Every structure is written in structure tokens, then in C-alpha cells.
Amino acid sequence: MEQKLLPTGKPHISFSEVRIWKECGWKHKLTYIDKLAPFEPSVYLEYGTIIHDALEHFLKTRELKIEETKEKIKKAWADNEFDLEDNIKERQMIAEGQGWKYRHNYLDDWLRWSENSLRDIGPFLDKNYPEWEFITAEEQLYESIDDEISFKGFIDGVIKYKKGNREKYVIIDWKTASARGWHRDKQRDFKTTAQLILYKHYWCEKNDVKLRDVACNFVLLKRGAKPGKICAIVDVSAGEKSIAKANKMVSSMMSSVRKNRYLKNRFSCKFCPYYNTEHCT
């Protein structure tokens, strides 16, 4: 029997795909169906990826690879010429066209932030998750949504810790952020929190764990914050009602894509790489 695919050409969806569709159906079409996603090297993406790798290693081994992490950052900055003045001006122009202001930080800042973040993470986890134990990191989810399509994702980390007389699992998603962290609106934005809600839903089903035994936390690592105040928790409520709401969002996205309905959201142009281009004016 031939496997049925979505118009994207895939038998699965990811949360990032659902989030982009929720932000703007037209952006989803350009990215996942027309395959136009422009790849521009990003200081934020490179830094976030390198820090994620270091945190994955720490969860597994409790070993901090600070110097190795800093060397990876140096290489990424050299390879992409992030501190080259012409590239800085180009990023500033792109940001201006998208409706925001790009503020450049040079390599030494990112090296300092990475070291401070990694030195803070151990004491932070010990304080907030007493007697924590490593369960898994970068665990892949590939779980059926319906008879044709699956949900695909990777969980940054799962740990288990003591909460009173009980043991509790925590699904963690690492997020690098500005020194101020996330504003309240973002912490409450369902397009953001639905990621962990869906991860919890599918992880519990996959591992036969009860929903009440699992918490969901974004752990922010704030660039430029003072040591001791770098890490912060954004707790996500993920009960049955939230899961039902997230599943409904996924179903709506799949239905819209299958019907080739791609509505533009003019309130979601900020930061969009297609804004003010030939693909979206």
C-alpha cells in the first residue's frame, strides 16, 4: 500500500512546522511546500545549537565542556564571518526591512555568556530539581497522529527528581534568550507552550507514563545576565485540556494544508525572512 503524504511531501509534521503555520499559512507554504526557506547564518542559531550540545553532554555526564564549547563558538564565528563589518551592516539592513533592530555583539561577549551559562546550569538544576537523575536527552518522538501522518520531534532532555515524597519527571527544553528573558506574553503564548504540551502528550504515550507524573519546563539561559541569575524556568501547564487544545491545533493545520489553504497573516511579518521580498509584499 502506497504511503499517503502531505502536500509537503512528508509523512510527518514537526512542531516547528505547526508553529509556522499558526503564525502564517502563507509562510508555511513558502517554507515547507515551495521549499524556499532562505538560509542565512545566524548568530543566535549557531550559539543556541552549540549551547544545546554542551547541555546535552552535561545531562548525560555532569561534565562541563567549557573550553570545547568556546572553541566551537570561535570556529562558527570565523567560518561565518559574523564580526565582519560588511556582514554586520547587511544583518542590520535585513532586520530593518523586517521591522526590528539588530544589535551586534562581538565574539568576546558570546564566549563570556557561554562560560557563565554553563557554570550556572549545575547549581541551578540541583536547586530546582533536588536529587535529579538523567533519563534521556535528544529523544526522538515519531508517534502516529492518524492512520497516515506522524508527529516528529526531539526532546532536549528528561530528568527525574524528588518532589516531596514523590518522584517527578520533567521534560526540559533549553532556550537561549536575551538578558531580560521572556516577556509575559511570550510565556503565555500558546504557539510557544504547545511545543512542550505535545511533547508531554506523545512522550507519556510512548513510555506509558501517567500525565500527572510529568512536568514541562522551558529552561532559559539568558545572554548577558549576571552569574547566578542566568537560568530561569518557564513552567508549562500541560493537562488534558491543554493537550486537547494542542491536538486540535495540529488537526486544523493538517486539514488546512491538505485543502491547500494558505492564508496570509499580516500581523506576523516581523522577523519573517519573506517580508518585503518577491515572495510576499
Mean pLDDT of 86-100: 87
Answering whether pTM is above 0.85, one says yes
The closest of 262, 277, 279 to 98, measured between CA atoms, is 277
Q: E-assigned strands of 84-163?
A: 133-144, 150-163
DSSP output for 153-183: EEEEEEEEEEETTEEEEEEEEEEEE-TT---
User: Which of 16-25, 210-219, 260-269 is predicted with the least confidence, judged by mean pLDDT?
Assistant: 260-269
- Residue 31, pLDDT > 90, answer yes
Nearest to 277 by CA among 31, 44, 101: 31
Nearest to 121 by CA among 70, 46, 56, 71: 56
pLDDT tens-digit readout, 199-231: 999 999 999 999 999 999 999 999 999 999 999
What is the pLDDT confidence band of residue 22, given thresholds at 50, 70 and 90?
Answer: very high
Confidence of residue 277 (pLDDT cuts 50, 70, 90): confident
Tell me the average pLDDT across 31-39.
Answer: 85
Average pLDDT over residues 149-167: 94
The listed range with the strongest mean pLDDT (97-101, 143-147, 195-199) is 195-199
pLDDT at residue 9 above 80?
yes
Question: What are the CB-based long-range contacts (under 8 Å, 24+) for 159-164?
Answer: 159/59, 159/125, 159/129, 159/132, 159/133, 159/134, 159/135, 160/132, 160/133, 160/135, 161/129, 161/130, 161/131, 161/132, 161/133, 162/130, 162/131, 163/130
Q: In this structure, what DSSP letter does residue 213 have? A: G
Contact 238, 201 (CB under 8 A): yes
C-alpha grid cell, residue 69 = 564549547
On whether the CB atoms of residues 203 and 173 are closer than 8 A, the answer is no
Tell me the pLDDT tens digit for each residue of 56-87.
Answer: 999 999 999 999 999 999 999 999 999 999 99
